[in-house]
Amino acid sequence: MDAELHRRCANTIKGLAMDAVQAANSGHPGMPMGMADAAIVLWTRFLRFDPQDPGWPDRDRFVLSAGHGSMLLYALLHLAGYDVSIEDLRSFRQWGSNTPGHPEVGETPGVETTTGPLGQGFANAVGMAIAERTLRETFGAGLCDHRIFGICSDGDLMEGISSEAASIAGHLALGRIVMLYDDNTISIDGSTELTFTEDATERMAAMGWHVQRVDGHDPEALAEAIEAAIAAEDRPSLIACRTVIGQGSPSYEGTPRAHGAPLGPDEVRATKERLGMDPDVAFAVPDDVASAFRSCASTELREAWQARAAESPDGPRLRTWLQPDWAALAEQIAWPSFEAGTSLATRKASAACLKAITAAAPMLVGGSADLAGSNGTNIGAVAFTPQRFAGANTLHFGVREHAMGAICNGIALHGGLRPYNATFLAFHDYQRPAVRLSALMHQPVLYIYTHDSIFLGEDGPTHQPIATLLALRALPGVEVWRPADAIETVAGWRESLLRTDGPSALILTRQGLPVLDRPAAIAAGVVRGGYVLADAESPQVVLLATGSEVSACLEARALLAERGVRARVVSLPCRERFARQDAAYRDQVLPAGVPRVSVEAAVTLGWRGWIGDSGVAIGVDTFGASAPAETLAEKFGFTPAQIAARAEALVKA
């Protein structure tokens, strides 16, 4: 592309960004205007993509971590020939549009991940690179040989998640990441001199990254830098592109004013005049500009890859990794069995499940935030190292919960691997933004949370999750499984594996729980999320519980029977699953008119909808305490005798 055509392409992108933001009266025009030059070089000279098949497995991934600059991506997708029309650009940020305010995977063809919360896309790219290298070393470069390119901002590099993810990428020598850093020295509040005076490139270099600085408006310098980054196969690359935010705007370029608001009709007109564009034409796309982009599609490369995949003896196995039949795999797994009457922590039952799953499903990969022994993920599998990815399935994330979740999102988005991760339930708060995005993106990431309640004991309130179950359940699309024993743990794992349209969270105990004796017909109710575990004729009260409190309710039921009170015990291992059952089944389990008592070692908020206004909620509405588990059970009202007393009082009332 000659200099004049490049200039016209850059002006077209700037015009589309200004016009769309102005039409919406909302958005961020400055970043697309400042990074247009870099994006053009990347998309027309290096990126391998095919709008005819946006999901082609061996395509390069492009991650716009600076998601506020979404109009840059939408303009690129339109120019490149994806199914993003001028009308879509005109409806930027509007109801029902496929051009939302920040990129959302599944909404817009060609968008690889949902970005907006800064740093998430950066960490997603690390997960994608882990998946790419694993598949490349497993199946060979003939079937997997692509790169992960991205654009990040000052804000991405300020967020702690990016440092967590960058450290992992550097340690694992993920040489297929090339991140263009929009180094424009401007944040919303003003110059980055206000808060961000470190040398970000030196920081990244210290974490094992190949770093370069370049004029972000010099196409040839940009191309040379990207070539050098690609050549640095032994480490990830960051290219700091010094740019001018809002470049071209006579009044606002280089200022915070160009960041997060429309330029205004007069400034849009003045900018177009300055750039040599027709100020009276909105959403203009010259034919030669569109042709320049669309001629760069990698259709022939995609077709050649498809031919290789069809002819390769590894092709069928690759397809099973890319599109696994989890129902069939679940039947092949040698699920563990447990003897009724024995005692076992559900985290240990989970470890047995995980070991059985990885033996049958090598595409399941994951690990823990430096708590493998405690989380039950230390299953003797092969760990990922800078030298080995093929045959590995254990990732050591270190104490980096936030990046761990976002990296697993990237692995899931890439395809070919199914990710899980683990930490203490109390530390979910450190990764909540990533879990939220798992749900928003409908990604089947498996979250293992252990040490699930006050009953972890002496570590005290800092480690005792009180409101975390409520927080997880509040996220649309997350299935939260808190099993009552080892048998429910197996069911929770199996159902979580079968679910491919969203994340699942397994909430597991540190302490041992009795393996409950239940007939097969009753056990079948586990997969419905809630079921009658123990019953009485014409019950006078229903005890609803999850997790470790279920066995306490069974003991309370026996005490109530001695006092002539008939009690039903309902186990609710997954409230979300139970809520989706038909009304007839729910009414059968929770009959109308029978008073209810909920028992869960967590905040009581959220239980009223299940027990009604007259029901009794037994829970923990403080921050717990440091003491042995037996003491905590007595002090907080979770002994069988205390539960029975509350239930009896409710019946008498």
DSSP string for residues in 123-170? HHHHHHHHHHHHHHHHH-TTT----EEEEEEHHHHHSHHHHHHHHHHH
Task: Give 407-445 as a 3 state SS string.
Answer: HHHHHHHHCCCEEEEEEEHHHHHHCHHHHHHHHHCCCCC
Parent domain of 139: 3-301
- Shared domain for 289 and 333, answered yes or no, is no
> For residue 521, what pLDDT is reported?
87
Is residue 439 included in any domain, yes or no? Answer: yes
Q: Which of 449, 482, 514 is the last residue of a domain?
A: 514
C-alpha–C-alpha distance, residues 600 and 613, integer Å: 17
Taking the CA atoms of 237, 240, 245 and 249 in sequence, report the sign of the dihedral they define: negative
Residue 462 and residue 503 in one domain: yes
510 and 530, same domain (yes or no): no
Mean pLDDT of 501-508: 98
Question: Contact 532/396 with Cβ under 8 angstroms?
Answer: no
Are residue 441 and residue 362 in the same domain, yes or no?
yes
Identity at 513, one-letter amino acid code: L
Query: Given 469, 484, 514, which residue is the final one in a domain?
Result: 514
Among 233, 268, 301, the domain-final residue is 301
Query: Both 530 and 439 in a single domain?
Result: no
Tokens for 406, please give them. 């976002």
> CA-to-CA distance for 640 and 653, rounded, in angstroms?
20
Q: Over the stretch 199-257, which tens digit does the pLDDT of each residue have?
A: 999 999 999 999 999 999 999 999 999 999 999 999 999 999 999 999 999 999 999 99
Task: Give CA–CA dist 530/545, Å, rounded.
Answer: 10
Q: What does the DSSP 8-state code read for residue 47?
A: -
3-state secondary structure of 449: strand
Positive or negative CA dihedral for 300, 302, 305, 311? Answer: negative
64 and 168 co-located in one domain: yes
Place of tokens 């498996």: 446
- List of residues 6+ apart from 315 with CB closer than 8 A: 143, 308, 309
Sorting pLDDT into bands at 50, 70 and 90, what band is 380? Answer: confident
The amino acid at residue 371 is L
Strands 567-571 and 531-534: antiparallel
Residue 521 placed within a domain: no
From residue 218, how far is each of 34, 36, 204 by CA, in Å? 12, 11, 23
DSSP code for 83 = S
145, pLDDT greater than 90: yes
CA dihedral 315, 316, 322, 328 (to 10 degrees): -170
Check residue 41 and report its DSSP letter.
Answer: H
Q: Please give the Cα distance from 503 to 300 (Å, whole number).
A: 36
User: Does residue 279 contact residue 273 with C-beta atoms inside 8 Å?
Assistant: yes
Residue 130 sits in a domain whose CATH number is 3.40.50.970
Percent of the residues in the chain that have a pLDDT greater than 70, as a whole number: 100
Which one, of 119, 125, 121, 155, lies nearest residue 30 by Cα?
A: 155
Check pLDDT > 90 for residue 532. yes
Residues 423/431, Cβ–Cβ less than 8 Å: yes
If you count them, how many residues does the chain have?
653
Residues 508, 547, single domain; the answer is: no
Q: Which amino acid is located at 261 in the chain?
A: A
**Model pTM score:** 0.98
469/543 same-domain check: no
Write the single-letter amino acid at 548. Answer: S
Q: How far is it, in rounded angstroms, from Cα 494 to Cα 326? A: 9
Which structure tokens are listed for 89? 């650009």
Alpha carbon distances (Å) from 250 to 11, 14, 42, 432: 14, 13, 27, 42
Indicate whether 155 and 263 sit together in one domain: yes
3-state secondary structure of 71: helix
Residue 554 is assigned to a structural domain of this protein: yes
Q: Is 473 part of a structural domain of the chain?
A: yes
Rounded CA separation 15/283 (Å): 7
Query: Active-site positions?
Result: 401
Average pLDDT over all residues of the chain: 97
Residues 425 and 563 in one domain: no
Q: Is the pLDDT of residue 536 over 90?
A: yes
Query: Is 277 inside a domain boundary?
Result: yes
Specify which residues 107 forms β-bridges with. Answer: none
Residue 320 lies in a domain: no
Min mean pLDDT across 111-120, 364-373, 378-387, 579-588 is at 378-387
**In this structure, is residue 311 part of a structural domain?**
no
What phi, psi does 62 have (nearest 5°)?
-120, 120
pLDDT bucket at 379, cuts 50 / 70 / 90: confident
273 and 154, same structural domain? yes
Per the structure, how many domains does the chain have? 3
Q: Name the nearest CA neighbour of 473 among 503, 493, 497.
A: 503
Tens of pLDDT, residues 27-72: 999 999 999 999 999 999 999 999 999 999 999 999 999 999 999 9
Q: What is the tens place of the pLDDT at every residue in 65-124? A: 999 999 999 999 999 999 999 999 999 999 999 999 999 999 999 999 999 999 999 999
pLDDT in tens, 445-483: 999 999 999 999 999 999 999 999 999 999 999 999 999
Domain with residue 618: its CATH number is: 3.40.50.920
Residue 392 lies in a domain: yes
pLDDT of res. 451: 98
Nearest to 490 by CA among 360, 356, 580: 356
428 and 577 within one domain: no
The DSSP string of 200-245 is: HHHHHHHTT-EEEEEETT-HHHHHHHHHHHHH-TTS-EEEEEE--T
